[in-house]
Structure 1
Amino acid sequence: MEYVDHAQVKKRMSARILLNYISQIIFFLSALFGLAVLFILIYRVLSDGLGWINWGFLTGKLSTQPERAGIMGAILGTLWLMAVVAPVTMFLGIGTAIYLELYAKKGRLLNFLQTNISNLAGVPSIVYGILGLTIFVRALDLGNVVLAGGLTMSLLILPIVIVASQEAIRSVPQQLLEASYGMGATKWQTIKNIVLPAALPGILTGAILSLSRAIGETAPLVVIGIPALLIPFPGSIFDKFTVLPMQIYYWTLDSSLVDEYANLAAATIIVLLVVLFLLNATAIIIRNKFQKRY
């Protein structure tokens, strides 16, 4: 019969309990630090920017005079950009995920593609800006218009949508596919009527996260030459444009010269957050609707 040293066992348990307690304290302090920084940031933005938000600021044109500056052009540019990014990314991202999961043959080529798509999700955004500048602005001669910016941002978030869509498709129970095939449905009918409806909530979750990233990105647009001060409002995807993050970036730089620009940047941050919340809320409502249905 093996001898058990109860004192040693008790000592190890006490050490584990102490380690668990210390870990809880460290994690709690880490979360508290993050929340404190977020609270300070939100407080600073609200205190500096709320007083500058009025109807003239929301509907006016950009101006070199801070008291007359407006952001309607930047708001319209952001919405036009999302109007290009959302359909392009959803169509290409979901289509690629369907092909890789349900049509592509298993093998080294598929593993190679999967690995590189996952790696592309971690590539710095400025690299996509250089790619967009090379292909869309110069090679295709689109210039720094909404279409070029939208396609560049689509490249940025496309890997995220593909990976999220693949995970959503994998989560569909295999029994549903087998039952559909057993009833005589074709592969496309099974995808259209079974796979996509069941996977749609997960796909929309990935799309919401990716669009949230796209709406706040600045580096790719700086690289392709999006102007900061643009007086005309964009009216189509072939017009020049500016966006809210670009305006925040340049007004923050100008705040070292004129203090009022810091207030304009804070006010624009508030507007950007509101636009982001509205777009996300719309996407979440659509996602929940399909989630309840299926």
Structure 2
Amino acid sequence: MKYIDVEQVNKNMSPRIFKNNLAKSIFFVAAIFGLLVLITLIYRVFSDSIGWIDINFLMSKLSTDAERAGIFGAIMGTVWLMVVVAPVTIFLGVGTAIYLEEYAKKGRVRNIIQTNISNLAGVPSVVFGILGLTVFVRAMGLGNIILAGGLTMALLILPIVVVASQEAIRAVPQFLREASYGMGATKWQTIKNIVLPAAIPGISTGVILSLSRAIGETAPLVVIGIPALIIPIPDSVFDKFTIMPMQIYYWTIDSALVDEYANLAAATIVILLIILFLMNSIAIIIRNKFQKRF
């Protein structure tokens, strides 16, 4: 019978325990540092926006006079942008996910498509801006209108929607499909009546989070030349436009010349944060509600 040398075990464990405690301390300090930076940024933004957010700020048009400037045009531009982005993204993204999960046969072609979609989800947003500039603005001759910006943003978030939709469809239990086939339903009837209703919570969550990213993106629109000048409020997808992130970007640049522009940018950031917070909250509510049901 062998006896365990407790002292030797403790000696062997001491360096490992020390390394573990050291790594834990480093990670804790890193987390605290990131949290402090975030709190500082939020405090600075909210403190600079005090006294600037009111109904006039929300309902007024852009102006060179900081005291009269508002973001109604930027809000409407954001809404019109989502009018283009949402249907294009949902139709193409969910359709692609259905094809890959339910129709495409496992093999090299499917693996290549899947790998490329996953890689596209990590491509920097400015690359999609260059693609939009080349295809929609120049090749198709659309110019810097809402339709071109919406299609560019749809390309940006499309891989994310495809991956999220695939995960939601893949999570539907196989026995539900088999039960539907056993009742004589076709493949499309099974997808339409069984798979999609069960996958809607995950798909909706992915779509809402993707749209919230599109609302906060600036780089692709800067590349395709979306202006932030005093332009009319858009009435269709063929009008020129600006959105809140673009207005924040230009007001931040102009704040070097006029201090009040920094306050306008901070107030717009607060409104944008509120919109993103509401969208993310809706996504969480949908996920939690339907997870309990299914």
Fold shared per TM-score above 0.5: yes
Equivalent residue number for residue 225 of structure 2:
225
8 Å contact from structure 1 (residues 200, 287) kept in 2: no
8 Å contact from structure 2 (residues 129, 224) kept in 1: yes
Q: What is the distance in 1 between the residues matched to 2:7 and 2:275? A: 62
Task: List per-residue Cα deviations over 1:86-113 (Å, max 9, x = no partner).
Answer: 1211111111011011101111111111
Between 255-264 and 176-185, the greater mean CA deviation after superposition: 176-185
8 Å contact from structure 1 (residues 129, 224) kept in 2: yes
8 Å contact from structure 1 (residues 168, 199) kept in 2: yes
Letter in 2 for 1:252: T
8 Å contact from structure 1 (residues 61, 72) kept in 2: yes
> Cα distance, 1:255 vs. partner?
0.8
Q: What is the distance in 1 between the residues matched to 2:130 and 2:98? A: 29
Q: What is the distance in 2 between the residues matched to 1:239 and 1:283? A: 30
Q: What is the distance in 2 between the residues matched to 1:204 and 1:30? A: 33
Write out aligned runs for 1:110-129 (5 A).
Answer: 110-129=110-129
> Cα distance, 1:142 vs. partner?
1.6
What secondary structure sits across from 1:236 in the alignment? coil
Q: What is the distance in 1 between the residues matched to 2:178 and 2:21? A: 49
Equivalent residue number for residue 136 of structure 1:
136
Write out aligned runs for 1:70-219 (5 A).
Answer: 70-219=70-219
What secondary structure sits across from 1:142 in the alignment? coil
Superposition CA RMSD, Å: 1.8
> Cα distance, 1:284 vs. partner?
4.3
Write out aligned runs for 1:18-57 (5 A).
Answer: 18-57=18-57
Task: List per-residue Cα deviations over 1:48-100 (Å, max 9, x = no partner).
Answer: 01211122211111111211211100010011111211121111111101101
Letter in 1 for 2:245: P
Between 281-290 and 163-172, the greater mean CA deviation after superposition: 281-290
Alignment coverage as a number of residue pairs: 294
8 Å contact from structure 1 (residues 230, 241) kept in 2: no
In structure 2, relative to structure 1, the CA distance for the partners of 1:287 and 1:237 (3 Å cut) is: farther
Q: What is the distance in 1 between the residues matched to 2:216 and 2:54? A: 22
Q: What is the distance in 1 between the residues matched to 2:203 and 2:164? A: 6
Task: List per-residue Cα deviations over 1:220-259 (Å, max 9, x = no partner).
Answer: 1011111111331011111111000000001111111111
Letter in 1 for 2:262: A
8 Å contact from structure 1 (residues 234, 241) kept in 2: yes
- What TM-score comes out, normalization by structure 2 length? 0.94
In structure 2, relative to structure 1, the CA distance for the partners of 1:282 and 1:151 (3 Å cut) is: same
8 Å contact from structure 2 (residues 60, 71) kept in 1: yes
> Cα distance, 1:170 vs. partner?
1.4
Give the share of equivalent positions with the same residue, in percent: 76
Equivalent residue number for residue 265 of structure 1:
265
What secondary structure sits across from 1:68 in the alignment? coil
Q: Which runs of 5+ in 2 are unaligned?
A: none
- What TM-score comes out, normalization by structure 1 length? 0.94
> Cα distance, 1:171 vs. partner?
1.4
Q: What is the distance in 1 between the residues matched to 2:124 and 2:67? A: 36
Q: What is the distance in 2 between the residues matched to 1:291 and 1:7? A: 51
What secondary structure sits across from 2:250 in the alignment? helix
Letter in 2 for 1:209: L
> Cα distance, 1:293 vs. partner?
4.2
Task: List per-residue Cα deviations over 1:106-161 (Å, max 9, x = no partner).
Answer: 11111111111111111111111111111111222222111111110000000011
